[in-house]
Amino acid sequence: MATTSFSPSAAVRAPSASSFGRHLDFSRRIRLRLTRPPAPAARWGARRHVAPFRLAARRLSVRCGALVQIDQSEFPAEVLGSDIPVLVEFVADWCGPCRLISSVVEWASQEYKGRLKVVKIDHDANPKLITEYKVYGLPTLILFKNGQEVPESRREGAITKVKLKEYLDNFLEPTSVV
């Protein structure tokens, strides 16, 4: 009867190149990785510092077709002095929900052209307007008619196209009592 002996060192030893092939020699790969430092661009820290600049440059190219982006100096003339109702959207570049609804607000500016003016106000660049109109959440939509904020027209957070249409139709359509 043949007996086999078990050697713990044989079980732990990495496979040799002759028995499993050169591409399976894991111990050699690990040694190479440890002795050769990674290239500067491949380090985590280098990548982390480059990415925010690239993203910031992309955010600056805001698409505003029929929308008008104004600041606090233009606010009295564009919003308070307007003959037609004005939808004011308070946004920020860093706000995810603001970017999410930008296409919906763009659609509304095209859909209600002539009946409604849509303006965007940057939250970070206009602190006076933010405190004056008590904008606490972003994005915030406020409807103005005849230079006054329409009561109960304030809307905070993301909104779908259907909900925005209902919201605008509710405030823009004249209600008559028969």
Tell me: pLDDT of 101 over 70: yes
- 106 — phi, psi (to 5°)? -60, -45
Q: What is the pTM of this model?
A: 0.62
Of 79, 91, 98, 121, the catalytic one is: 98
pLDDT-derived band at 40, boundaries 50, 70, 90: low
Asked if 82 and 117 touch (Cβ cutoff 8 Å), the reply is: yes
- Tell me what pLDDT residue 54 has: 41
Residue environment code for 17-35, b if the CB has 16+ CB neighbours within 10 A, otherwise e: eeeeeeeebeeeeeeeeee
Q: Which of 66-70, 147-151, 172-176 has the highest mean pLDDT?
A: 147-151
Q: What percent of the chain has pLDDT over 70?
A: 60
Asked if 119 and 85 touch (Cβ cutoff 8 Å), the reply is: no
Q: Is residue 62 part of a domain?
A: no
d(CA 68, CA 132): 20
Full residue range of the structural domain in which residue 112 is found: 68-170
Q: Is residue 22 part of a domain?
A: no
- 98 among known catalytic residues: yes
* DSSP-based three-state secondary structure for 110: helix
**What is the residue-averaged pLDDT of the chain?**
76
73: CATH: 3.40.30.10
- Tell me what pLDDT residue 92 has: 95
- 64 among known catalytic residues: no
- Tell me what pLDDT residue 59 has: 38
Q: Is residue 19 part of a domain?
A: no
Q: Is residue 97 part of a domain?
A: yes
| Region of 102 on the Ramachandran plot (φ > 0 left; ψ -120 to 50 alpha; else beta) | alpha
- Tell me what pLDDT residue 6 has: 56
- Tell me what pLDDT residue 67 has: 84
Of 67, 88, 95, 105, the catalytic one is: 95
Tell me: pLDDT of 95 over 60: yes
Tell me: pLDDT of 31 over 70: no
Look at the chain and report how many structural domains it folds into: 1
- Tell me what pLDDT residue 5 has: 57
Q: What is the DSSP letter of 77?
A: I
Q: What is the mean pLDDT of residues 150-157?
A: 94
